[in-house]
Amino acid sequence: MNSSVALLTDTFATFLNIYVVLLIFRILLSWFPNISWSDPPFSIVSQLTDPYLNLFRSFIPPLGGMDFSPILAIFLLQFLAQIFSSLQQGSYGI
């Protein structure tokens, strides 16, 4: 694998890991009911994460008021990040 592809896979894996942290931050913020999602710092987080989370919310309904869709969303991102990390590591012969 050439170095540009290795750089691309490494960058994408890093992006996925950062997005997972952003999702976890969004989930933790959802535990505070007094947060206004229209305020600038929170609206940015919501705009970045909700489209991805809504994909999973469309086929995993909230069960008893508990939303389990973020768990599946995070697992999928971590799985993809692991795949891209292993592709990148394989390019160096590790």
Query: What is the number of structural domains in the chain?
Result: 1
What residues contact residue 92 under an 8 Å CB cut-off, 6+ apart?
6
Domain that holds residue 59: 3-91
Mean pLDDT computed over every residue of the chain: 86
pLDDT of residue 89: 67
Residue range 52-75: mean pLDDT, rounded:
87
Asked whether residue 7 carries a pLDDT value surpassing 70, the answer given is: yes
Residue range 25-42: mean pLDDT, rounded:
89
Asked whether residue 85 carries a pLDDT value surpassing 70, the answer given is: yes
pLDDT band at 94 (very low <50, low <70, confident <90, very high): very low
What is the C-alpha separation between 37 and 44, in angstroms, rounded?
A: 9
